[in-house]
Amino acid sequence: MLVLTAKDIEKIYSMKDAIAADKQALKIYTQGDSDVPLRINFDVQNGQCLFMPAHIRGSDIVGIKIVSVFPDNTKLGKPSVPAQVLMLDPQTGEVCAMLDGTFVTQLRTGAVQGAATDLLARKDASRAVLIGTGGQAISQLEAMLTVRPLTNVAIFDIDHDKGKQFTEQMKKRFVHFSTNLYFSENLDDDISQADIITSVTTSKVATFNGAKVKSGTHINGVGAYTPQMHEIPANIVEKADIRVLDTKDGVFAEAGDIIDPIKQKIVTQDDFLELGDLIINPQKCRQNSQQITLFKTVGTAVLDVYVGYDIYLKAKEQGIGINI
């Protein structure tokens, strides 16, 4: 079995690789060529353990992500949300790889936004806004920088100190993109100029003012994953010309910022496409520079397992990781 740490994966697998893999994974999902059983949750004494398996038919890629939420772990100096992805050998069924699941999650979640931004944002998009500077934010920023040659990215967090610190770190980390990264002192202003907006927060209320969004903007909602959570303003869900989800099943069951506008009959489920639909039929992407486009993701094990296997194959080829 090959053990792959975040550092190992970083050496051999780029955001571009992950974006290509996510596109392929969601195409397979939308075509109905994968099995994704409901997540199994166990409440245990100190937390919760979640098991997320998936099977990509055809290539027989099988794997599972195990994520646990143990809030008190920080007192022990351990991560509060430990995660691993286990891959099975399609020929023998043996577990053939164990990957750092936290890193795979960040990579595939950034990449799915990158895939949507690539397919939906205007080709000449130059200004972006990133809202939320937590654990998922680095890969979200990297994905936007990867798919469009941005001149400016305004970064915002409700915790200003945290947001400013993150911005300084990102200026160093992503210096090679030559993009002006700055902390947003006036979010309304930055939103009104943005060609791309990505929100990746734990917010229960909309994270920006939808009335400020200009025509032609592409918006990504990455954070909200329970019916109580909202990031995308309802008027944007209403106004958007093209509305795309990673998976309809996941978003309609979990994301408050999409569930509520449907309940309020502002939109119907039929007004939404899946990202896989855009890959199968590219004519469903943006048709002109005035359209507002919206992408919402809550994640799916298909992404973890497809990306996990892609990383495993590359690592085997290049002799990376520890074999045990």
Ligand X SMILES: NC(=O)c1ccc[n+]([C@@H]2O[C@H](COP(=O)([O-])OP(=O)(O)OC[C@H]3O[C@@H](n4cnc5c(N)ncnc54)[C@H](O)[C@@H]3O)[C@@H](O)[C@H]2O)c1
As measured in angstroms, the least distance from the Cβ of 91 to ligand X is 30
- Round to whole Å and give the CA distance between 39 and 305: 14
Residue 134 engages ligand X in binding (rule: CB under 6 A): yes
Residue 132 engages ligand X in binding (rule: CB under 6 A): yes
Q: At 100, is the secondary structure helix, strand, or coil?
A: strand
Select the residue interacting with ligand X from 3, 135, 209, 241 (CB under 6 A): 135
Which residues neighbour 304 within 8 Å (Cβ) at sequence distance 6 or greater? Answer: 52, 54, 63, 65, 85, 101, 104, 105, 108
Number of residues that bind ligand X (CB under 6 A): 25
86-105 residues in contact with ligand X (CB under 6 A) are: 105
Residue 133 engages ligand X in binding (rule: CB under 6 A): yes
Place of tokens 């309802």: 234
Residue 139 engages ligand X in binding (rule: CB under 6 A): no
Residue 136 engages ligand X in binding (rule: CB under 6 A): yes
Select the residue interacting with ligand X from 124, 159, 185, 189 (CB under 6 A): 159
As measured in angstroms, the least distance from the Cβ of 178 to ligand X is 25
Residue 107 engages ligand X in binding (rule: CB under 6 A): no
DSSP string, 247-315: -HHHHHHH-HHHHHHHHTTSS-GGGEEEHHHHHH-GGGS--STT--EEEE----HHHHHHHHHHHHHHH
Select the residue interacting with ligand X from 27, 162, 248, 284 (CB under 6 A): 162
Q: Return the residue nearest ligand X (CB atom).
A: 134
Residue 252 engages ligand X in binding (rule: CB under 6 A): no
Of the two residues 137 and 285, which places its CB atom closer to ligand X in the complex?
Answer: 137
Part of the chain binding ligand X (CB under 6 A), chosen from 96-104, 265-273, 282-290, 295-303: 295-303
Task: For Cα atoms 267, 273, 275, give the angle at the middle one, nearest 5 degrees.
Answer: 140
Part of the chain binding ligand X (CB under 6 A), chosen from 85-93, 145-153, 211-219, 291-299: 291-299
Residue 225 engages ligand X in binding (rule: CB under 6 A): yes
- Round to whole Å and give the CA distance between 156 and 169: 14
Select the residue interacting with ligand X from 34, 139, 146, 207 (CB under 6 A): 207
Residue 146 engages ligand X in binding (rule: CB under 6 A): no
Q: At 158, is the secondary structure helix, strand, or coil?
A: coil
Q: At 197, is the secondary structure helix, strand, or coil?
A: strand
Residue 168 engages ligand X in binding (rule: CB under 6 A): no
- Round to whole Å and give the CA distance between 112 and 24: 11
Q: How far is CA 185 from the centre of its chain?
A: 26
Among 255, 236, 233, CA closest to 300:
255
Q: Which residues bind ligand X (CB under 6 A)?
A: 105, 109, 131-137, 156-159, 162, 200-203, 207, 222-223, 225, 297-299
